[in-house]
């Protein structure tokens, strides 16, 4: 569909269209129902399942790498025993939330959104979706578009071109598409990678495999934490579930914030502490250098968390080992490394990462002009400059995703109610300073981030254009802060006639709402 071609039929008009039925989309459904009960909404989901990440990834041992008291929703206590939870338990939690609240009935499965066009004249989006079940292209319209599409491509994980793969007699598997029939019992496995997925796979596969080797080009920081939180066990037995959950959330928010701030301010101290932790868990004869000494500072890339030191247990048991080297080529029997060493393998797992993708690949057009995301600025870490009536859920890089997701949903619900109350039909963040210095949107230096930064928006140096990655700061800005500021243009364009400046309504005093949410 081009800007001048109107779609032949609009299937449905909704006040809000949510795109994606993962953790964020289901959270958005909850907040819309609870805070904007008069608004109609639907969720368009490309796949035929709820859960996004937690339904897609099926590799052995798949689990969270942040605690469930902060990865869980603010409105639904996580009551399972494990704080670092298995993928299926997280999927069940998301699905159950959708079922209990009737959010599942709002989902249109097999609808992959490919384009969205904003018309100022009509103050609405026209959204184009491809149906994977019928092959049809369908169109919806909505007043507000809420993108809960995650941050990576679903169809293909990142797989670098390795030489000689065609010669390898064994099997090569990528964790993003784990086939049901992978049999690794008694086999020699090599896992290529050093990130969260690799450190999860190694101990999980070591139980059955003959041996698992983790082959890493460069190491990550690895921190061990108890899989079960003793404080949680104590509080859960003595306090009502909601109160215990709220206290545990604050405890963990405080701890992760302190750890992150200390890492940024005193990286040498944190490096020494992490090293000490690793040394105390390594079996004798295993070297910390070079396998556990990254070349970057803690939190330049995500720190990997291992529950109950399970990775180190596998090293102790002799069922796993770590090699720090580079792949030269795949051979018939396994891998030849840059050092000349050979690794024999029956199965090679390429835990080499994700391909980032903004807005689920949706093409965005505003009044006939296609938006280049790299030319936009993120507003309050959720809206984009010059893109009206659209928000995006992007979680924290240094804390659990859902903390930011809940705050974003709360803010958008406040904004929608505020607009309705004052007769505004359009809200557009506008950067009025063309010389504003900018930074990349995501502050991590991981390979998967650096590979795709040019496809993402930018951020400014100060609020509201700065993405602070700070939950407590965001509570003040998003839950209690004003909805109107110099950058936010709120308008009521005339419902008919040529697009023009519209009627700019003078700003009334901003409103705050009392929140039902826990921290």
Is residue 157 close enough to count as binding ligand FAD by CB under 6 A?
no
Residues 72-131 that bind ligand FAD (CB under 6 A): 112-113
Is residue 256 close enough to count as binding ligand FAD by CB under 6 A?
no
Contacts of 162 (CB under 8 A, 6+ apart): 327, 329, 330, 350
Is residue 406 close enough to count as binding ligand FAD by CB under 6 A?
no
Is residue 194 close enough to count as binding ligand FAD by CB under 6 A?
no
Of the candidate spans 47-55, 221-229, 330-338, 379-387, the one that interacts with ligand FAD by CB under 6 A turns out to be 47-55
Residue 149 CB, nearest approach to ligand FAD (Å): 4
Is residue 46 close enough to count as binding ligand FAD by CB under 6 A?
yes
Q: Which of 14, 16, 17, 20 binds ligand FAD (CB under 6 A)?
A: 20
Is residue 65 close enough to count as binding ligand FAD by CB under 6 A?
yes
Residues 328-387 that bind ligand FAD (CB under 6 A): 360-362
| Residues 328 and 215 sit within 8 Å (Cβ to Cβ) | no
CA distances from 431 to 81, 419, 435, 462 (A): 47, 20, 10, 12
| Residues 474 and 404 sit within 8 Å (Cβ to Cβ) | yes
Is residue 19 close enough to count as binding ligand FAD by CB under 6 A?
yes
Residue 151 CB, nearest approach to ligand FAD (Å): 7
How far is residue 42's CA from residue 293's CA, in Å, rounded to a whole number?
A: 48
Tell me which residue of 436, 422, 427, 416 sits closest to 383, measured CA to CA.
427
Is residue 408 close enough to count as binding ligand FAD by CB under 6 A?
no
Cα 412 from chain centre: 18
Is residue 61 close enough to count as binding ligand FAD by CB under 6 A?
no
DSSP helix/strand/coil, 41:
strand
Q: Which of 83, 148, 409, 419 binds ligand FAD (CB under 6 A)?
A: 148
| Residues 321 and 345 sit within 8 Å (Cβ to Cβ) | no
Is residue 415 close enough to count as binding ligand FAD by CB under 6 A?
no
Is residue 304 close enough to count as binding ligand FAD by CB under 6 A?
no
Is residue 45 close enough to count as binding ligand FAD by CB under 6 A?
yes
Is residue 471 close enough to count as binding ligand FAD by CB under 6 A?
no
Residue 305 CB, nearest approach to ligand FAD (Å): 8
What's the start-to-end Cα distance of the chain, in Å? 43
How far is residue 330's CA from residue 332's CA, in Å, rounded to a whole number?
A: 7
Q: What is the DSSP string of 282-294?
A: SPTT--STTTT--
Is residue 393 close enough to count as binding ligand FAD by CB under 6 A?
yes
Cα 169 from chain centre: 36
Tokens of 347: 């199965």
**Site residues, ligand FAD (CB under 6 A):** 19-25, 44-47, 52-53, 57, 64-66, 71, 112-113, 148-150, 154, 197, 360-362, 393, 395, 400-401
């Amino acid at each position: 569909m081009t800007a001048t071609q109107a779609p032949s039929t609009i299937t449905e008009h909704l006040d809000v269209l949510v795109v994606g039925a993962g953790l964020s989309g289901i959270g958005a459904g909850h907040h819309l129902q609870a805070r904007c009960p008069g608004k109609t909404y639907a969720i368009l989901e490309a796949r035929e399942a709820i859960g996004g990440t937690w339904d897609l990834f099926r590799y052995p041992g798949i689990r969270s790498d942040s605690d469930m008291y902060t990865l869980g929703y603010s409105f639904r206590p996580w009551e399972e025993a494990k704080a670092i939870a298995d993928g299926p338990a997280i999927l069940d939690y998301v699905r159950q939330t959708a079922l209990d609240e009737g959010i599942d009935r709002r989902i249109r499965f097999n609808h992959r959104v490919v384009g969205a066009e904003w018309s100022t004249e009509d103050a609405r989006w026209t959204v184009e979706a491809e149906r994977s079940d019928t092959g049809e292209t369908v169109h919806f319209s909505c007043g507000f578009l809420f993108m809960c599409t995650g941050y990576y491509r679903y169809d293909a994980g990142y797989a670098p071109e390795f030489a000689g793969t065609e010669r390898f007699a064994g099997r090569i598997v990528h964790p993003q598409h784990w086939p049901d029939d992978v049999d690794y019992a008694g086999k020699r496995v090599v896992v290529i990678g050093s990130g969260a997925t690799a450190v999860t796979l190694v101990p999980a596969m070591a139980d059955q495999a003959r041996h698992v080797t983790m082959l890493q080009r460069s190491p990550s920081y690895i921190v061990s934490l108890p899989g079960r939180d003793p404080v949680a066990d104590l509080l859960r037995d003595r306090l009502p579930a909601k109160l215990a959950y709220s206290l545990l959330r604050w405890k963990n928010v405080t701890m992760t914030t302190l750890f992150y701030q200390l890492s940024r301010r005193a990286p040498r101290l944190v490096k020494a502490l992490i090293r000490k932790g690793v040394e105390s868990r390594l079996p004798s004869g295993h070297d910390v250098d070079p396998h556990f000494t990254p070349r970057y500072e803690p939190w330049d890339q995500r720190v990997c968390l291992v529950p109950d030191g399970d990775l180190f247990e596998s090293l102790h048991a002799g069922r796993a080992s770590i090699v720090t080297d580079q792949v030269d080529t795949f051979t018939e029997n396994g891998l030849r490394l840059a050092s000349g060493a050979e690794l024999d393998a029956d199965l090679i797992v390429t835990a080499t990462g994700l391909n980032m993708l903004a807005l689920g690949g949706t093409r965005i057009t505003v009044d006939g002009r296609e938006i280049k995301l790299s030319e936009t600025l993120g507003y309050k870490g959720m809206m984009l400059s010059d893109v009206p009536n659209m928000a995006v859920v992007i979680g924290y890089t240094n804390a659990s995703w859902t903390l930011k997701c809940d705050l974003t949903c709360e803010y958008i619900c406040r904004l929608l109610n505020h607009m309705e109350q004052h007769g505004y039909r359009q809200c557009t963040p506008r950067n009025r300073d063309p010389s504003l210095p900018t930074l990349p949107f995501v502050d991590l230096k991981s390979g998967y981030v650096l590979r795709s930064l040019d496809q993402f928006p930018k951020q400014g140096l100060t609020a509201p254009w700065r993405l602070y990655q700070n939950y407590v700061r965001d509570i003040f800005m998003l839950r209690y802060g004003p909805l109107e500021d110099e950058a936010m243009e709120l308008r009521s364009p005339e419902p008919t006639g040529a697009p023009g400046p519209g009627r700019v309504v003078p700003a009334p005093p901003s409103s705050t709402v009392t929140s039902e949410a826990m921290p």
